[in-house]
Structure 1
């Protein structure tokens, strides 16, 4: 079983923790492609998300203890698209793998987090798949379902967990609160604790 150790994440992780940053966004250039990368340390295992800027490609790796990605792989369509975007041709003497991609990436991970580069929910929404009403990616507030005589839905809790993190989703489940979303960038508000 292939294991890739991303020891370059260690300093970034420590910097994020010291500044109270749970979700961080930075750019990674590989050949002709620039990726939006998000490192999410409020999940277990940690999430490492890649979104190719200007292209319909995103993928995610789970980062275990010790900053290990165990058996990194991509779905065939994502692998094919990544190879095409990077301009790679099949070469049996020089194969390309997700593990190799991550090893090259490891050398370019920033050591320090800049608080201005926190990953916002709409940043994560561009990369994460299978969330309710994915076109509505801008957080716009909370709805107290108890006041309305209603219950928070599992789909809403899933979206909250994926885009805002497990701590906030757990609070929403406990307090019967739904996260509210809009497709209008001007309607977004800063995330507060529900």
Structure 2
């Protein structure tokens, strides 16, 4: 399947925009598997993140203009884990694919965003784990690097980009500010502009 159109995202996107929500989190269940899904519209292209609850499986799709996912694919280990989680067995007459997974998902996308379900940085960190100090998932503040004569590191900017979005990362780069993170849930603070 070359392109999957997720037209179910259109209403959700419009609801998010109307409420000023750029990162939204909701649940999707398919068979025995339950997924935390995050729809990030502050990235270009948009990002759709899936994290299997209670498992280490996570994956991401880029959503192009028109809510299209072009050539939806997963790497082999993730695809095998997904099939295992869904308890699928190979059937040559009914082949399972990432595109088929997305087509089913399209029918389960909420039409309206609930402001209480904004995707927080620690939610996103559970899916995007390939970042600096991946165990530190709770945002705990900003550090101005100018008084120390230091420069925000590329790794910190990448973590800021992945977990807080491109606008915040660009602001941190311009102002020479690092995002700070902790592994202690009680140390978490609300994200403010740097």
TM-score tier, shorter chain, comes to over 0.9
Q: Does 1:52 align with 2:41?
A: no
TM-superposed deviation, 1:149? 1.1
TM-superposed deviation, 1:192? 0.1
Which residue in 1 is equivalent to 2:122? 122
CA distance in 1, matches of 2:20, 2:148: 34
- TM-score, normalised with respect to structure 1: 0.99
Which residue in 2 is equivalent to 1:150? 150
Which residue in 2 is equivalent to 1:25? 25
Which residue in 1 is equivalent to 2:100? 100
- Any idea what the Cα deviations from partners look like across 1:95-132, whole Å, max 9, x if unmatched? 00000000000000000000000000000000013111
CA distance in 1, matches of 2:159, 2:82: 26
Secondary structure of residue in 1 paired with 2:119: coil
Which residue in 1 is equivalent to 2:62? 62
- TM-score, normalised with respect to structure 2: 0.99
TM-superposed deviation, 1:145? 0.2
Structure 2: runs of 5 or more not aligned: none
- Any idea what the Cα deviations from partners look like across 1:68-95, whole Å, max 9, x if unmatched? 0000000000000000010000010010
- Any idea what the Cα deviations from partners look like across 1:114-169, whole Å, max 9, x if unmatched? 00000000000000131110000000000000012110000000000000000000
Poorly superposed stretches of 4+, deviation over 3 Å: none
Which residue in 1 is equivalent to 2:87? 87
Which residue in 1 is equivalent to 2:165? 165
Secondary structure of residue in 2 paired with 1:65: coil
What RMSD over aligned residues (CA atoms) do the two structures have, in Å?
0.6
- Number of positions where the alignment pairs a residue of Structure 1 with one of Structure 2: 194
Which residue in 2 is equivalent to 1:140? 140
Secondary structure of residue in 2 paired with 1:190: coil
Secondary structure of residue in 2 paired with 1:127: coil
CA distance in 1, matches of 2:147, 2:191: 21
